[in-house]
Amino acid sequence: MKRPPRTTDATTTEGDAALDATFEALADADCRAILAAAATPKTTSELADDCDIALSTAYRKVELLSETPLLAEGVRFDPDGDHAAEYVRDAAEAAIEFGDDGVSLAVDDEGADPLAAALNAPGVSAD
């Protein structure tokens, strides 16, 4: 599921599949490692290397994280035409709230600027 970076904060609530996916991802050590490594845009192969996990595991974890408001997918353009999907953490903070309507998760993207991260990534030029 390709999802561009958020432009506003996100809140997921009971009945929202993203809420369950987010809690499932946060309960998984490999997903947490991927989120830590994805401070700058990286391909799945780079995330697997950085997190010291199998590439097949990284693909599964990235797929799960892509169903949450925590990770955004973009495209790394290559001058030779070998474009690749890349992922970047799309959240700076998250808060769990318990209310009369159930549980909600508010995700704050303040400080998580995927565009700035992409432009600051090695080998990426705005020219």
pLDDT band at 99; cut points 50, 70, 90:
confident
Task: Kindly tell me if the per-residue pLDDT of 12 is higher than 70.
Answer: no
Range with the lowest mean pLDDT among 5-9, 71-75, 83-87, 95-99? 5-9
What pLDDT is recorded for position 108?
81
More confident of the two residues 74 and 111 = 74
- Exposed e or buried b for every residue in 50-84, given b needs 16+ CB within 10 A? ebebeeeebebbbebbbbbbbbbbbebeeeeeeee
Q: Which domain holds residue 88?
A: 10-112
In a domain, 41, yes or no: yes
In a domain, 69, yes or no: yes
CATH code (residue 63): 1.10.10.10
Count of domains observed in the chain: 1
What pLDDT is recorded for position 78?
80
What pLDDT is recorded for position 94?
83
The string of pLDDT tens digits covering residues 32-84 is 999 999 999 999 999 999 999 999 999 999 999 999 989 999 988 888 878 88
What pLDDT is recorded for position 1?
39
d(CA 77, CA 72): 16
pLDDT band at 125; cut points 50, 70, 90:
very low
Structure-token match 């947490």, residue found: 32
In a domain, 117, yes or no: no
What pLDDT is recorded for position 14?
59
In a domain, 4, yes or no: no
